[in-house]
Amino acid sequence: MSTSYSLFTEEENEILTRTGPGTPMGNLLRRYWLPAVQSDEIPDAGGGQMRLKLMGEDLIVFRASDGKVGVLDQFCPHRRANLFFARNEDCGLRCSYHGWKFDLEGNVVEIPSEPDFDLWDIKPKIKAYPAVEAGGIVWTYMGPPEKKPPPPEYEYCLVSDAHRYATRRWEECNWLQGLEGGIDPVHVPFLHKYELSTDPLHKGTTGADLTSATDIFYDSVDQPYGTNVIARRDAESDSFYWRIGQWIMPCFTIAPPYGDFAMGSNAWVPRDDESFWRWIISCHPTRPLSNSERSAMKDGKGTHVKLGPDLRAEANRDNDYFIDREGQRAEKTFNGVYTVGLQDKAMQESQGEIHQRQLEYLVNSDKSIIMIRRRLLNAVKMNERGDDPPGLTAKDQRIRSASLVEKRDVNYDVLSKNILHTREGVPVTSI
């Protein structure tokens, strides 16, 4: 008999989903380096600026004349002209309205109309955030300067460009329902039932064949950095098929891998409270990605999707994700939508812009969802007390997922002991 868990309250849902400046969850997320844009999205040094909505803030990202990346408030503090139109010159931005000049730390270094500016005791300043580049991504830190953690060291940050392929897309719902979809193993044999046998980044693997089973044992194991999300199926009569995913505080996941295909890492970063940036970084630690793999990813296979010029998926809620009812009836697609990434997107966005968790009926198989919400709420409290939340160190980030078949008498602690951490030159454990 399935047991119903206590529902989350409306107040808890507000804490979990609101991420703007000054909110409890917003303050927590700002304690971490967050992926902002891909390095190759930014024009060359001294080129133009790009707009970025991140964590409810309107920002400008640019590469200064010395090659360093700047992340600044989008609006000049003088009379709020948009710095998208500013001149990128001499290691800073000059507002094109009245000529105020800013460096990458947000300091106003020149006001042409004020000849005694150098003598001012208090000088205006624009909001600016530190930026680093790692793994072909520009990361920014939006939290208290004195608490800035070391730069990110996820495995995809440590390999060469040839070993990874990343996409960033705009998803139209709250960040948390995206994250929860990413760590929910229960939906896979249903929503993706037909896709795993045809998708070029899944098919032909032992894991794809075994994942179709629906009689599954689900579990979650807390770790210092986050949570192991576990799905265990019967394999042979004397063995189990284990799929071990990772949630890394606060908004990072690694899906269990399939065969020799790339490991799929994800970030779910709020754009505002009703949309988020979905990052997918496909990374193979021990070999370069093939041309056919890159082509499939660019074509929207695996968890990637085909993107329009605004970074929204071509198939989106405005066109019902190109739903195919005939294909649904013919058992070509479970929900009428094609490709793994679009199937996830459709279901998560169908929950509404902000999912009302106080109206849910949760069951035993939702254990991972429940645990991760509780961990996030506890981390909010830790941060409010002035303590460091989990997941800030390099050790916390050098984590892998895994999939394997093991004898039934081998317990989880033993089988997972040496396979869930980054090991240079050692392949991911995957079938």
Region 160-415: CATH code:
3.90.380
pLDDT of residue 269: 99
Domain boundaries, given as residue ranges, for the chain: 33-147, 160-415
pLDDT higher than 90, residue 212: no
Rounded to whole angstroms, the Cα distance separating 155 from 422 reads: 7
DSSP state of 403: E
Residue 253: is it exposed, middle or buried by C-beta count within 10 angstroms (0-12/13-18/19+)? buried
pLDDT of residue 115: 87
More confident residue, 119 or 365: 365
Closest of 225, 217, 265, 261 to residue 245, by C-alpha: 265
Phi-psi region at 23: left, alpha or beta (left = phi > 0; alpha = psi -120 to 50): beta
| Cα–Cα separations (whole angstroms), residue 378 to 27, 150, 358, 385 | 13, 23, 18, 11
Residues of the chain with pLDDT > 90, as a percent, come to 92
pLDDT of residue 237: 85
Rounded to whole angstroms, the Cα distance separating 387 from 259 reads: 40
Taking only the tens place, the pLDDT of each residue in 161-179 is 999 999 999 999 999 999 9
pLDDT higher than 60, residue 227: yes
- Segment 91-112 shows an average pLDDT of 96
Rounded to whole angstroms, the Cα distance separating 345 from 376 reads: 23
Q: Which residues contact 37 (CB under 8 A, 6 or more apart)?
A: 50, 52, 61, 137, 138, 168
Taking only the tens place, the pLDDT of each residue in 230-247 is 999 999 889 999 999 999
Residues of the chain with pLDDT > 70, as a percent, come to 99
Q: Does domain 33-147 have CATH number 3.40.190.10?
A: no
pLDDT of residue 1: 44
The rounded Cα 350 to chain-centroid distance in angstroms is 19
DSSP state of 74: S
More confident residue, 19 or 116: 19
- pTM greater than the 0.85 cutoff: yes
Taking only the tens place, the pLDDT of each residue in 324-354 is 999 999 999 999 999 999 999 999 999 999 9
pLDDT of residue 119: 78
Q: What mean pLDDT value characterizes the chain?
A: 95
